[in-house]
């Protein structure tokens, strides 16, 4: 991307914004939504409707300083097994409300590091899922993996349990960056982990990269992207580092004085983008890349791509059920989140036999649902015809007049093209997708910018 004066440009767009993995975003969650709402929304799921499942394991063997996820070090195998028993109990309570046999179109384990669970307990949870739900033959069944701590016997277990996709954190291969971030992981470790998984038939591999970390350079991130592309992952997710020390105190351990400035971050993102495109990967939305033959690329080209708390997905299910500490569920009526810490989660599960561990959330109004659909299509398709939206929902012709006017500065900079009521984000506008989406966000509180991460 060629920008004549990137510093001036970025100064105009220097604001913190949501990632828009949901709408309303988690910043609108309050304790006004709780277990009773979750129970009501689960009961409203119609028999036979497909659902997605997300299971959160908030444990790691070591903590990375950059991480903003809900996770902690827990070394006791017994404690990890006890947590898995809580997952099984929460699943039981969910199934009591929605009934058995719902098709599962996507199943994802995240964290933390799910493979910290003992094999026997992971097997028990998966057996519970398969006995309570109908996991579809073509369902994407995915698990997050730390290549530094994957036991040698685990890939065979994953194959046995039906996993067909794995997501590996890499972030950066430069030893100086790794030292700053507290995550030492050689390229050889990553390659060996991928080989182990592929040898067991787990053919779909995703790799996460991050730019904007301390000590990163444009040349360094380009080298990382080129080296990782040579390992031929099927997908990559490329995130800008979110420095949120008010949320994750561990980030204060990093040499924050060596963080790249906005212009350097912008250049790093462009370098990774160029390296991955040169390697044959197709850009997907804001921050994902896939091989052209991957079904994520197919979904992007056909307009059936979706976005949820795990990022971009091919999952068409309207209901996502989150299980475990801090897990978020999504329903047409609203969103809910479980207790954040594993201790609080355990207390709520143990309180009564039928209590759901939900502590907060947000209800969706009809306007929220309308705007959620617009934001999702913008984030996925980089285009939308507001005229079609107006016609479909029988709205006044000028319903989005203010939003179109608010896009004028983005249009002037060439980051969005407006033709009547049709919006199209060209390639140079890809990094500013969140800025376009934010125009349609009626909840965005510009007086509380620290609730979100940098928009570029």
Extract the annotated binding site for S-adenosyl-L-methionine. 54, 66-68, 111-113, 144, 171, 183, 208, 242, 328
Residue numbers in the known binding site for [4Fe-4S] cluster are 60, 64, 67
SS3 at position 248? coil
What gap in Å lies between CA 68 and CA 238, rounded to an integer?
15
Task: Give the DSSP per-residue string, 56-87.
Answer: EE-EESS--TT--SS-EE---HHHHHHHHHHH
SS3 at position 173? coil
In contact, 418 and 379? CB cutoff 8 Å? no
262-278 helix and 218-229 helix, angle to the nearest 10 degrees: 30
Residue numbers in the known binding site are 54, 60, 64, 66-68, 111-113, 144, 171, 183, 208, 242, 328
Task: Give the DSSP per-residue string, 262-313.
Answer: HHHHHHHHHHHHHHHHHTTPEEETTTEEE-TTSHHHHHHHHT--EEETTEEE
Contacts of 75 (CB under 8 A, 6+ apart): 61
Radius of gyration of the chain, Cα coordinates, nearest whole angstrom: 22
Q: What angle do CA 299, 300, 306 make, to 5 degrees?
A: 75
What gap in Å lies between CA 58 and CA 303, rounded to an integer?
34
């Amino acid at each position: 991307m060629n920008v004549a004066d990137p510093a001036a440009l970025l100064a105009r767009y220097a604001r913190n914004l949501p990632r828009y993995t949901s709408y309303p975003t988690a910043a609108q969650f309050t304790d006004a939504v709780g277990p009773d709402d979750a129970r009501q929304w689960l009961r409203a799921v119609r028999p036979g409707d497909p659902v997605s499942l997300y299971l959160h394991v908030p444990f790691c063997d070591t903590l990375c300083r950059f991480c903003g996820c809900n996770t902690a070090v827990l070394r006791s195998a017994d404690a990890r097994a006890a947590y898995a028993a809580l997952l099984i109990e929460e699943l039981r309570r969910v199934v009591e409300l929605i009934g058995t046999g719902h098709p599962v179109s996507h199943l994802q384990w995240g964290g933390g590091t799910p493979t910290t669970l003992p094999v026997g307990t992971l097997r028990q949870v998966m057996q519970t899922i398969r006995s309570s739900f109908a996991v579809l033959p073509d369902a994407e069944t995915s698990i997050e993996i730390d290549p530094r701590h994957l036991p040698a016997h685990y890939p065979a277990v994953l194959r046995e349990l039906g996993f067909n996709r794995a997501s590996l954190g890499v972030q950066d291969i430069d030893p100086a960056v790794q030292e700053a971030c507290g995550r030492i992981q050689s390229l050889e470790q990553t390659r060996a982990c991928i080989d182990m998984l592929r040898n067991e038939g787990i053919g779909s591999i995703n790799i996460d990269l991050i730019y904007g970390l301390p000590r990163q350079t444009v040349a360094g991130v380009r080298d990382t992207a080129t080296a990782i592309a040579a390992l031929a992952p099927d997908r990559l997710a490329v995130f800008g580092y979110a420095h949120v020390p008010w949320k994750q105190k561990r980030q204060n351990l990093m040499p924050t004085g060596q963080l790249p400035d906005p212009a350097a971050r912008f250049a790093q993102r462009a370098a990774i983008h160029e390296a991955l495109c040169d390697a044959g990967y197709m850009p997907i939305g804001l921050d994902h890349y896939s091989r052209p033959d991957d079904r994520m690329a197919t979904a992007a080209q056909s307009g059936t791509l979706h976005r949820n708390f795990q990022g971009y997905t091919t999952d068409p299910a309207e209901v996502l059920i989150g299980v475990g500490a801090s897990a978020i569920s999504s329903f047409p009526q609203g969103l809910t989140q479980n207790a954040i810490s594993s201790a609080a989660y355990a207390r709520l599960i143990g309180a009564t036999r039928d209590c759901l561990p939900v502590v907060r959330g947000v209800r969706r109004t009809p306007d929220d649902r309308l705007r959620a659909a617009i934001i999702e299509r913008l984030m996925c398709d980089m285009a939308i015809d507001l005229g079609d939206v107006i016609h479909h929902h029988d709205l006044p012709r000028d319903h989005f007049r203010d939003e179109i006017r608010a896009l004028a500065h983005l249009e002037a900079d060439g980051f969005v093209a407006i033709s009547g009521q049709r919006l199209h984000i060209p390639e140079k506008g890809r990094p500013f997708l969140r800025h376009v989406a934010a125009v349609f966000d009626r909840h965005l509180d510009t007086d509380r910018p620290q609730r979100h991460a940098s928009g570029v």
